[in-house]
Structure 1
Amino acid sequence: MKKPVSGNRAKWPGFHGPNQGYVEELYEMFLQDPDSVDADIREYFEQNSELETSFSNESNQVISTGKTAGSPAKIAAVLRYADYIRSYGHLSANIYPLQFGSKDPQLEDYEKWGLAEADLTDMPVELICPNAPSSIKNGKEAFQFLKKVYSDTIAYEFEHVNEMAEKEWLRQKVESGELIPKVENERKTRLYERLTEVENFEKYLHRTFVGQKRFSIEGLDSMVPLLDEVISGAVNNGVETINIGMAHRGRLNILAHVLGKPYEMIFAEFQHAPNKELVPSEGSIGINFGWTGDVKYHLGLDRKIKSDNTANARLTLANNPSHLEFAGAVLRALRALRRMTGMNRVTRNMTQ
């Protein structure tokens, strides 16, 4: 049977989140006793009597789906609970491997909102999460889904966005479930192996070159598989040149695992030599030739890569002439590239 076209939010234009729940409570008080609310609020409800008709029509539509929404007080509590998850769910995100901290009681315990399990189950999914996947069958499952969306290993926070059209677009994207990754076991294995390479590289540098200045990628290891994914998608969609700019932190790891710079070349640079052949002999404290300090953290690299359909692309990590500024290195490369290839090909170039 036909489901409601819009959720309960359309009933009170201009009110959203907790404010909407508050208006719901005032309206219920007004229906029971008009004198129980302030005169200006009473006048507002009296002048907008069509809201009651809208509520009745919407309730009939909800009932036509086979679900009974319950009393206005229960509906208001459910809406406040759902909005609380959207607003504060990220604070309970599952991002601490050692399980520090505790879950927010108001997020986990629906009884604190004056609700019973039956109240959640009986609520229409469309009232709680209008964009939920079709696999969500009742209100209780809708709340479980919202908690997964806003409090899992990836969480979202955008209730502070003032532009309603933007917020609704974000909510539709997030709550539709399309952003929840579906990763096969084989791909999980590849990701694990990739992260192991990234971590072991940093451990080796730390253990082998003790005391040397090291701008590690630790804490941001996932940037490497993230770049793998972005670059692969770009090349397979016809991008011909990719320009990357970044500061020191994690640069060596990106050079090694994304740009393909050989380990031995990087290790030689830790010996203050530009290549393996010029590394000082064992026990020597002299330098045959080359550079000192953090020069290796300023260097970039070019690499040619192929897409799944064997199309060639050029990947460039720009040299970083400054400790603090790296955007200019990318912008100059893109400007030069646009001049060389023509403006009509700019859509095939990408910067990161």
Structure 2
Amino acid sequence: MHSSVIATQCTGAVISQRERQTDRDKEIVLQIRGHHIAKLDPLGISSADLDDKDPPELLYSHYAFEEADMDRIFKLPSTTFIGGKEKSLSLREILHRLENAYCRHIGVEFMFINSLEQCNWIRQKLESPGITELTNDEKRLILARLTRATGFEAFLARKWSSEKRFGLEGCEILIPAMKQVIDKSTELGVESIVMGMPHRGRLNVLANVCRKPLEQIFTQFAALESADDGSGDVKYHLGTYIERLNRVTNKNIRLAVVANPSHLEAVDPVVQGKTRAEQFYRGDGEGKKVMSIILHGDAAFAGQGIVYETFHLSDLPDYTTHGTIHIVANNQIGFTTDPRHSRSSPYCTAQPLFTTFTRTRLIHVYTPPSHALTVLSLACYHQSRQPHAISFSESLTLGHPVALIVLDEVCSHM
């Protein structure tokens, strides 16, 4: 835990007006800028998104508190969620809980949202004690899903070692993440989900998220006639439509993955149009039965204008789908380009461009209360050992972190 991080939400009659103002300033600073020091990079590749320096306002030394103040008890205001049922906490415990909420492996940008109700909803979901803890059954479910995703990629790599397939190695956690989104959406009444995505991980999504029959996927590798659509396109461009039982919620769910050409983001407005059409014919005027999920690569999300155009359709009365979940597979490499040389924004999710105009919530993750866009940036890496569009050298796609990945894989087998 970053011991120097400072930002508190404490007020009380026992401290002076100046101290109360200082506490309020620290609260705002942490909520706005806490993501700067969150541990978002699984490889630690030279601070690709942000520089190595901690903003001074996030440092403990920036404020007037001393070590003797750490054990002082502060009364918590009614507007905070870090206390749970407790009404007062020591400064040390307040810092600990706030660091757990904002400075670990989840960094959130949301304070620019104009709706106080939405901001408070997000704060409650992050700050409430124990809210991110998982039960043993939930952990086993995530492990099982992650194991299936990893096993699928390993099987394809062994069986068709020379085939291009745009594997998901390095970002297999995408599968449990998508399935969790679908589980929760189904639980809340969603009956149909329209999805769009680029090449990377498409086969894994089709197999493990949509449960497309494996024989239909494997016939594409064997150069046989596909029993599916038979469009004649390459296997990592094809989509599917499946209606199946969600075993977690015991409800039926319709899952559609839209076919996508080689232009990685061309599918974005298509997904929105398909979702809007299905909402219209279902009489779903509030988007409670039909929703959309769009997956992106980090470089394409920041670099292709069609993403920005699609975002600006999101709130128009004749185009809105009442909210979309965007998941960015942030493998920290744009084809062969270092992210520090491919964009001007600190994150691939380009907060200054998208969120200011569209009230989008950004959630940066290391491995909705109302209709709004949500962008989930899933930090990962790209493993170049398997066939891609071209032959990459590992030093080009990963640089010095190659040793970290190899060491991690060795330890995982011990």
TM-score, normalising length: structure 2 = 0.54
In the TM superposition, residue 168 of structure 1 has moved relative to its aligned partner by: 4.9
Q: What is the 5 A alignment of 1:192-271?
A: 192-271=143-222
Q: Distance in 1 between matches of 2:76 and 2:147?
A: 43
CA distances 1:158-195 after superposition (whole Å, capped 9, x unpaired): 45x27474785366435642793231012112211211
CA distances 1:258-280 after superposition (whole Å, capped 9, x unpaired): 1112334323312322359xxxx
Which residue among 222, 244, 249 is the counterpart of 1:305? Answer: 244
- Asked whether 1:90 is paired with 2:35, we answer yes
CA distances 1:294-337 after superposition (whole Å, capped 9, x unpaired): 61112112222225675433222222356331134434534553
Q: Distance in 1 between matches of 2:125 and 2:192?
A: 31
Q: In structure 2, what is the equivalent of residue 295 of structure 1?
A: 234
Q: In structure 2, what is the equivalent of residue 333 of structure 1?
A: 274
CA distances 1:223-245 after superposition (whole Å, capped 9, x unpaired): 22222122223333333322222
Q: Distance in 2 between matches of 1:326 and 1:311?
A: 28
Q: Distance in 1 between matches of 2:113 and 2:290?
A: 33
Kindly indicate which of the two structures has a greater share of residues assigned to helix: 1
Q: Is the 8 A contact 1:256 1:263 kept in 2?
A: yes
Q: Are residues 100 and 140 of structure 1, via their aligned partners in 2, closer, same or farther at CA, if it must alter by over 3 Å? A: farther
Q: Is the 8 A contact 1:216 1:250 kept in 2?
A: yes
Total equivalences in the alignment: 275
Q: Percent identity?
A: 29
Q: Distance in 2 between matches of 1:343 and 1:156?
A: 30
Secondary structure of 1:337's counterpart equals helix
- Asked whether 1:348 is paired with 2:310, we answer no
Q: Distance in 2 between matches of 1:210 and 1:231?
A: 32
Q: Is the 8 A contact 1:121 1:138 kept in 2?
A: yes
Q: Is the 8 A contact 1:243 1:333 kept in 2?
A: yes
Higher deviation after alignment, 259-268 or 306-315: 306-315
Q: Are residues 108 and 309 of structure 1, via their aligned partners in 2, closer, same or farther at CA, if it must alter by over 3 Å? A: closer
Secondary structure of 1:312's counterpart equals strand
Q: Distance in 2 between matches of 1:134 and 1:202?
A: 46
Q: Distance in 1 between matches of 2:171 and 2:100?
A: 23
Q: Is the 8 A contact 2:284 2:290 kept in 1?
A: no
Q: In structure 2, what is the equivalent of residue 8 of structure 1?
A: none
Higher deviation after alignment, 320-329 or 166-175: 166-175
- Structure 1 gaps of 5+ residues are 1-16, 19-58, 277-289
- Structure 2 gaps of 5+ residues are 1-5, 47-51, 294-414
The two structures, once aligned, show a CA RMSD in angstroms of 4.0
TM-score, normalising length: structure 1 = 0.62
Q: Distance in 2 between matches of 1:338 and 1:249?
A: 28
Q: In structure 2, what is the equivalent of residue 134 of structure 1?
A: 85
Q: Is the 8 A contact 2:192 2:254 kept in 1?
A: yes
Q: In structure 1, what is the equivalent of residue 68 of structure 2?
A: 118
Q: What is the 5 A alignment of 1:23-102?
A: 62-63=12-13, 68-69=14-15, 71-72=16-17, 74-97=19-42
Structure number with bigger Rg? 1
Q: In structure 2, what is the equivalent of residue 281 of structure 1?
A: none
Q: Are residues 185 and 105 of structure 1, via their aligned partners in 2, closer, same or farther at CA, if it must alter by over 3 Å? A: farther
Q: Is the 8 A contact 2:35 2:108 kept in 1?
A: yes
Kindly indicate which of the two structures has a greater share of residues assigned to strand: 2
Q: Distance in 1 between matches of 2:286 and 2:79?
A: 43
Q: Distance in 2 between matches of 1:149 and 1:163?
A: 21
Higher deviation after alignment, 188-197 or 231-240: 231-240
The letter of the residue matching 2:274 is A
